[in-house]
Structure 1
Amino acid sequence: MSVDLALTLLLASTAAFGLAVLSAVAGFGGGVLLLPVFTALFGLRFAVPMLTLTQLSSNGSRVWLNRRHIRWALVGWFAAGAAPLAVAGALLLTHAPLSPLKRVLGVFLIAVVGWRRLNPHPGKPSDRAFAGVGAASGLGSALLGSVGPLTAPFFLAYGLTRAAYIGTEATAALTMHLTKIAAYGAGDLLTTQVLLYGAALTPATIAGAWTGKKIIGRISDRVFVLLIEAGLVIAGLLFLTGLA
């Protein structure tokens, strides 16, 4: 292994660890923030499938660590909407104009936080509504690598917090990422190099998920929700400014 490649993987592993901790605490954010890092290191078309591999280990770890609190009915409805749209988005990845979609998503995320501040007790969405959430997430995630912040307001409105929120969101995301991996393979985006780099980053993401699990047990539900809302605003600004 060359020195340049070793340094690149060290930087990527450090970022993957730190942002896996963030994802384990807030339920999202790692993918959004890892995308610009991976894009700078590897290029966008290479970064998106590689990010998906990293998210498999990150989400898989969160699923296992919070397995007793998962709401399986929500996961089922989410997967029903996410799987077909994730396939469509993955096949469109090589041609889709990504910048306009990112800006729309950025406006949406910031608007959601404003709406939650004005309406602190929103109506609880039905289980079936998560099929629509999954469809939007599957398409956006396949094109942008990660849209975890998109799902957060809906899981919060359902009343999930801490372990139930983290475990359910991670399980829903895992079903989507598995679908994307299969579609990326069909579209020749899942190269041997992508697989090797993804495997190299797996230990860092697992360690980050474990560390985040330890942190989340020490914060209150109120602080947890505030952290998520802050993450939504930051993610929205990153999308709007083109940094994510």
Structure 2
Amino acid sequence: MVVITHTLPAYGFLQYFLLGGAAFFSAIVGGISSFGSGLVLTPVLTPILGIKAVIPVMAVAMTLGNLSRVWVYRRHIQARTLLQIMVPALPCVLLGTYIYKVLPQNALELVIGVFLLVIIPVRRYMAKKHFTPTPAVIIGAAIVFGIVSGALPGGGIVLMPILLGIGLIGGGIIGTDACIGMITNICKVIFFFSFSLLNYRYFLYGLLIGACMFPGTYLARWLLNRMHIKAHTLLIEILILFSGLYFILSVITS
């Protein structure tokens, strides 16, 4: 059994203020584009919590972060699409969390770093592919999404071309994706508790971070029709690039 032994360092008010600001900014990122919230938070949380605690804490925070988006876009959620994704995905989330449990710290940092670097060209390639997914493709994407979401940040990017191909746009894609993310992260929290990768102290820490995301979601809704999506997407990709390099360099220099 893996038990969390990393202890939070004594950070001052400024550090916690900056962490809350990062959570607020990540909610704006996710609220506008429906991807990127977890990717932005990962490098901020890792030096504070340690790599073995960062994904479990983020699961708690992202539950609240997604809950805020579910509430804002509740009238646009597509229940049929939600069921199509979640039924095959949930068993695979358990597999992903187990993979996260058994990987050593350096391996986790390397995997996350490489994943963040690879996801930029993959996202661009998938964004150019306009297709109507068959039921088999939806199931396959849901399985991949479940495994990736259980072990890594940013698993929602796997679903973006599927949701677009189904025909979801605007509030429909943001609300449905947020509902998928909320359910997935609730399950991750349960699994991480069962694997002793999450304790009540980290759970409360995740709640604090998640609470900071609520106002960011409402600001994102205001910005959604006022910000050029290409500029926003480029900013996120730059943040993801530097995050991936951060994790890889931390492995090299350790």
Structure-1-length-normalised TM-score? 0.84
Offset from partner CA, 1:148-174 (integer Å, 9 cap, x none): 222222222333222111001111111
State the secondary structure of the residue aligned to 2:197.
coil
The separation in 2 between residues aligned to 1:165 and 1:115, in whole angstroms, is 16
Query: Among 122, 133, 146, which residue is 1:111 paired with?
Result: 122
The separation in 2 between residues aligned to 1:228 and 1:137, in whole angstroms, is 24
The separation in 2 between residues aligned to 1:79 and 1:26, in whole angstroms, is 21
Query: Among 140, 153, 162, which residue is 2:148 paired with?
Result: 140
Contact 1:77 1:128 in 2 (8 A): no
State the secondary structure of the residue aligned to 1:190.
coil
What corresponds to 1:210 in structure 2?
218
Moved more, 47-56 or 126-135: 126-135
Residue 22 of structure 1: how far off its partner (Å): 0.8
The percent of aligned pairs where both chains have the same amino acid is 23
Contact 1:13 1:201 in 2 (8 A): yes
Task: Structure 2 unaligned segments of length 5 or more: list them.
Answer: 1-8, 249-254
Query: Among 27, 39, 57, which residue is 2:64 paired with?
Result: 57
Contact 1:106 1:235 in 2 (8 A): no
Which aligned pairs between 1:120-199 and structure 2 lie closer than 5 A? Answer: 122-126=130-134, 129-199=137-207
Please report the RMSD computed on the Cα atoms of aligned residues, expressed in angstroms.
2.7
Match status 1:31 vs 2:38: yes
The separation in 2 between residues aligned to 1:60 and 1:85, in whole angstroms, is 22
Which aligned pairs between 1:43-82 and structure 2 lie closer than 5 A? Answer: 43-82=50-89
Match status 1:93 vs 2:100: yes
The separation in 1 between residues aligned to 2:117 and 2:41, in whole angstroms, is 16
The separation in 1 between residues aligned to 2:13 and 2:83, in whole angstroms, is 40
Task: Structure 1 unaligned segments of length 5 or more: list them.
Answer: none
Residue 195 of structure 1: how far off its partner (Å): 1.3
The separation in 1 between residues aligned to 2:18 and 2:143, in whole angstroms, is 33
Offset from partner CA, 1:72-113 (integer Å, 9 cap, x none): 111111111221111111122122243246525643541341
Structure-2-length-normalised TM-score? 0.81
The separation in 1 between residues aligned to 2:112 and 2:25, in whole angstroms, is 27
